[in-house]
Chain A
Amino acid sequence: MAEIKKQATRESYGEALAEIGAKYDNLIVLDADLSGATKTGTFKKQYPERFFNCGIAEQNLIGVATGLTLAGKLVFCSSFAMFAAGRAFEQVRNAVGYPHNNVKIAATHAGLSVGEDGATHQCNEDIALMRTIPGMTILNPADPVEAKECVRAAAEFEGPVYLRFGRMAVEPIFDENYKMEIGKGVTLQDGSDVTIVATGLMVGMALTAAEQLKAEGISARVINIHTIKPLDADLIIKAAKETGAIVTAEEHSIIGGLGGAVTECLAETCPVPVLRVGVEDKFGTSAPAMEVLKAYGLTPENIAEKAKKAIALK
């Protein structure tokens, strides 16, 4: 089996686009002057005639993507999460979401792990924004393998999809045979005392936290939620019933993201203590990515600490 190397999910995104380019001859990729960073440049290199740069104009990027879709193309369009979901929110809402057009919005550089560029570029609000759009599917992969799977699944799926990729290299969790299904969470580890529901790069940290808890005699279940919308409510409710306490972990604001989604779901179905690990209603800051994550409490230690607090609230 080929060894899967540690790399950023954005790298996998670019590779996946180039890989599916042969299968979908109607695949068009758009960028807004960030193709080197978003890695759409990997596709451009292989299929220059099917890559279009819209320049630094994200509102038009979404509009052009929509128009190409109406002309029968399969379109992936990319920018940083701050601009794709933030600046162009209303274009995504009205041109893509409302008519349910088949546009794939692949946003990179999401969350704090942007690192040194700092608060203006660390988008911790994109999941919250996209969640409010009816019919929007939101995918947030945990590792390089799942990132490619998300691209495959999004291409096969009919309807608008928001894909969230990171800048920082992350360790592989899955092997090359891994397959994901949109809307189906993945139980990575069983446990009976508490469930850690994690997404994106926090999934790796959740597994480490579960190890730490195990050393203290606490049995933690770990669920990977790659599809934040539609949320796998059945799996979350089952975990709430069976373990009685939940911790969510995401590289996003604790408001409106995975923590928000899980809390809303359980409040209406199976109220149990839910503690949220994420960015606590603050803007980010400049520093190397790992230092920023640590400074904002996005660590295995904090997840383990919250898990114990959640258990105490049972």
Chain B
Amino acid sequence: MEQAVKKQLQVTACKIRMGIIEGVHAAKSGHPGGSLSIADVLTYLYFKEMNIDPANPKKADRDRMILSKGHTAPGLYSALANRGYFPVEDLLTLRKLDSYLEGHPDMKHTPGVDMSSGSLGQGISVATGVALGAKLDGDAYRVYSILGDGELEEGQVWEAAMFAGHKKLDTLCVIIDNNNLQIDGCLDEVCSPYPIAEKFQAFNWYTIEIDGHDFDQIEAAFAQARQNKGKPTAIIMTTTKGKGVSFMEDKASWHGAAPNDEQYEIAMSELKAALAALEA
């Protein structure tokens, strides 16, 4: 990837992270940890990978993205706002009465949201159905879905994985956000879903393992996924929960907690400094 392109993506990711912090701070609740861990992949999807048009969010041939880990809506909303689907200022209305930014994604009211989600395990099933529908119609659009690693504990994920593998849905690409933390602690202490790649392989999927904060690796993974034929692709990305905000990194306690005013100032100053360094 060209340095200038990479730098631009990093700048955008930093702005998306700032939107996440501003949203959950204003709401006094929400899920910053897992939103920050997918900020880079959301940046790549919405600013480089997907065929989308913010001016025409429902255009028929668009690529779809279903956020199966719907609790990280602050990340999705910030990506959509920064991409131009709605004003960035509206991120401050997150979780407030009469806002179109629900606690979890709501396809009926938020431009750019392809499916309501939040109950874990369901997004991948729906993405599978969309990919099957596209295949029946000979449509070329791709279907993406981001899942949490803890979400892999839901049985429905494997029902969907079995069906998608069986039907050879190669326009389907799921991204596993492997930050190794769930609400009650480390995955392997709560109820281990490991090994992840081998499980998807056993369900007749291609797998690609990457560092989810490295844009070169993200780009290569999505390019490979497009090449993959005859099976769906799972990109398993190692990430850091809370990435970009020092005191949130690798802490399960920041799964579903908002920063107080003091923590907000620290987080924003860190992100502003990171942005300034990138733009210098």
Q: Show the binding face of A for B, using Cβ within 8 Å.
A: 28, 52, 54-55, 57, 59-60, 62-73, 90-91, 94-95, 98-100
Please, which residues of chain A bring their CB within 8 A of the CB of B131? 67
Nearest A-chain residue to B160, judged by Cβ: A60
Q: Is the CB of A72 within 8 A of B133?
A: yes
Nearest A-chain residue to B123, judged by Cβ: A63
Please, which residues of chain A bring their CB within 8 A of the CB of B116? 94-95, 98-99
Q: Is the CB of A59 within 8 A of B159?
A: yes
Please, which residues of chain A bring their CB within 8 A of the CB of B128? 60, 63-64, 67
Contact flag A60-B125 (CB < 8 Å), given A90-B119, A98-B116: yes
Q: Is the CB of B133 within 8 A of A73?
A: yes
Please, which residues of chain B bring their CB within 8 A of the CB of A99? 106-108, 115-116
Please, how many angstroms separate the alpha-carbon atoms of A54 and B129 in the complex?
A: 11
Contact flag A94-B119 (CB < 8 Å), given A55-B162, A57-B159: yes
Question: B127 at interface (Cβ–Cβ under 8 A)?
Answer: yes
Q: Is the CB of A67 within 8 A of B156?
A: no
Question: B137 at interface (Cβ–Cβ under 8 A)?
Answer: yes
Question: B24 at interface (Cβ–Cβ under 8 A)?
Answer: no
Q: Is the CB of A68 within 8 A of B129?
A: yes
Q: How many pairs of A and B residues are in contact by the CB < 8 Å rule?
A: 104
Q: Is the interface of B mostly helix, strand, loop or mixed?
A: helix
Q: Is the CB of B156 within 8 A of A71?
A: no
Contact code string B106-122 (vs A, CB < 8 Å = 1, else 0): 11100000111011011
Q: How many residues of B contact A (CB 8 A)?
A: 33
Question: B132 at interface (Cβ–Cβ under 8 A)?
Answer: yes
Q: Is the CB of A63 within 8 A of B130?
A: no
* Other A-B pairs beyond A68-B132, A70-B114, A91-B125, 5, CB < 8 Å: A59-B155, A59-B156, A67-B132, A68-B133, A95-B125
Please, how many angstroms separate the alpha-carbon atoms of A63 and B64 in the complex?
A: 15
Question: B257 at interface (Cβ–Cβ under 8 A)?
Answer: no
Q: Is the CB of B130 within 8 A of A67?
A: yes
Question: B126 at interface (Cβ–Cβ under 8 A)?
Answer: yes
Please, how many angstroms separate the alpha-carbon atoms of A62 and B121 in the complex?
A: 12
Please, how many angstroms separate the alpha-carbon atoms of A174 and B167 in the complex?
A: 42
Nearest A-chain residue to B143, judged by Cβ: A67
Most buried by B among A59, A62, A67, A69: A67
Q: Is the CB of B126 within 8 A of A63?
A: yes
Q: Is the CB of A94 within 8 A of B122?
A: yes
Question: B163 at interface (Cβ–Cβ under 8 A)?
Answer: yes
Please, how many angstroms separate the alpha-carbon atoms of A66 and B122 in the complex?
A: 10
Q: Is the CB of A64 within 8 A of B114?
A: no
Please, which residues of chain B bring their CB within 8 A of the CB of A100? 108
Please, how many angstroms separate the alpha-carbon atoms of A94 and B131 in the complex?
A: 20
Q: Is the CB of A71 within 8 A of B134?
A: yes
Among A52, A55, A67, A73, the residue within 8 A (CB) of B125 is A67
Please, how many angstroms separate the alpha-carbon atoms of A69 and B125 in the complex?
A: 12
Q: Is the CB of A70 within 8 A of B163?
A: no
Please, how many angstroms separate the alpha-carbon atoms of A66 and B132 in the complex?
A: 11
Please, which residues of chain A bring their CB within 8 A of the CB of B124? 63
Nearest B-chain residue to A69, judged by Cβ: B129
Please, how many angstroms separate the alpha-carbon atoms of A229 and B126 in the complex?
A: 26
Please, which residues of chain A bring their CB within 8 A of the CB of B64? 70
In the complex, 18 of the A-B residue pairs with CB atoms within 8 angstroms, ordered by the A residue number, are A52-B132, A52-B167, A55-B163, A55-B166, A60-B163, A63-B125, A63-B126, A63-B128, A63-B156, A64-B126, A67-B115, A67-B127, A67-B128, A71-B136, A73-B133, A91-B156, A94-B119, A100-B108
Most buried by A among B124, B128, B131, B139: B128
Minimum Cβ distance to chain A for residue B111 (Å): 15
Please, how many angstroms separate the alpha-carbon atoms of A28 and B133 in the complex?
A: 9
